[in-house]
Amino acid sequence: MKRKHEQSIIDNFFDYLKRVYEDKNEFYSSSLDGQDTLLNADYIFTNSTKFVLSEFKYQEQDIKSEHNKQRSTLLCLKLLTDNLNKQRHNKCHFIAWSDMTYDDCQILLNQYNNEVCISNIKDRICIEDFSEDFYENKIGLEFDEFNEYIKWLLDSPNLPNDGTNIELIINDSEKKQFKMETFNTLEKLKNWLDSNKKQKKDKERKSSPRRRQ
């Protein structure tokens, strides 16, 4: 029986993005754990400025399993009639999978709507191009819009919802010791990211050498 290697794809995906961001050290990711069924995504990740959701599959053939999810069907229907959230979706909500038939493009991504709902493959993008666009803030939503999009995803009156906020655990990579930060709302995550960013800038200013007069 052929094994599924979805977690390996996820691990390699984030290893690559972290290498791309190594000089900036402003990259954080968090698994959605069981909350993936609410948001049609496995992970949230951010460069502290833009936020992105992504579902992951091992191979292209595994994408069809999304059609079996009630929330996936509902999302596809909602995107047909809500232009504002469709625009938000297209900027921040992706699905990724592996394709080992190419040496130079072994992880592909597409907007979730394009790949799952309407089978539009022309906007597929390689991980290298995706990471470059994300690095340059061309992909993703700023926090306020992202937060509104998440609320919209959770607002599904025809499907069960436990009413809780999104809960996330993030590793604070700035610490020499291992330390995880937990957040029970996106707002708390954003406050923590802003605080960390300010601390880093203050530290950089203090360590900068004086210019010659």
Q: Is 212 a member of any domain?
A: no
Evaluate whether 98 touches 58 at the Cβ level (below 8 Å).
yes
Q: Is 1 a member of any domain?
A: no
Domain count, the chain: 1
> Higher-confidence residue: 142 or 20?
142
Q: Is 46 a member of any domain?
A: yes
Q: Is 131 a member of any domain?
A: yes
Q: 176 is in which domain, residue-wise?
A: 6-207
Average pLDDT, the chain: 88
CA 99 to chain centre: 20
Q: Is 213 a member of any domain?
A: no
Q: Is 48 a member of any domain?
A: yes
User: CA-CA distances (angstroms) from residue 54 to 39, 108, 124, 157, 174?
Assistant: 9, 12, 14, 23, 24
pLDDT at position 159: 55
pTM, two decimals, is 0.89
Query: Length of the chain in residues, anyone?
Result: 213
Q: Is 212 a residue whose pLDDT tops 60? A: no
Q: Is 92 a residue whose pLDDT tops 50? A: yes
Residues paired with residue 183 on neighbouring β-strands, in sequence order: 168
pLDDT at position 24: 67
Closest CA to 111 of 97, 91, 131: 91
**Residues contacting 72, CB < 8 A, separation 6+:** 40, 66, 116
Confidence band of 160 (pLDDT split at 50, 70, 90): low
Instruction: Indicate the DSSP class of residue 21.
Output: T
